[in-house]
Amino acid sequence: CRFHTRCAAATSLCRNERPVLSLVDRNHFVACHHPRAG
């Protein structure tokens, strides 16, 4: 993930793999491995 250096919830997964875009709420998409972490 391009934000792994700025994200408090980042893990090694974030440093090594690009997250896919996913729907977390109606009309709210994120590209994050840990969207509910912070």
3-class DSSP assignment, residue 13: helix
Q: Are 33 and 14 in contact (CB under 8 A)?
A: yes
The model's pLDDT over 13-34, given as tens digits with 9 standing for 90+, comes to 999 999 999 998 999 999 999 9
The dihedral sign for the CA sequence 19, 2, 14, 34: negative
| 36 against 20, higher pLDDT | 20
3 falls in which pLDDT band (50, 70, 90)?
very high
Q: What's the pLDDT score for residue 38? A: 60
Tokens of 23: 């729907």
Report the pLDDT value the prediction gives residue 21, as an integer from 0 to 100: 96
The Cα–Cα gap between 28 and 10 comes to: 20
d(CA 12, CA 8): 12
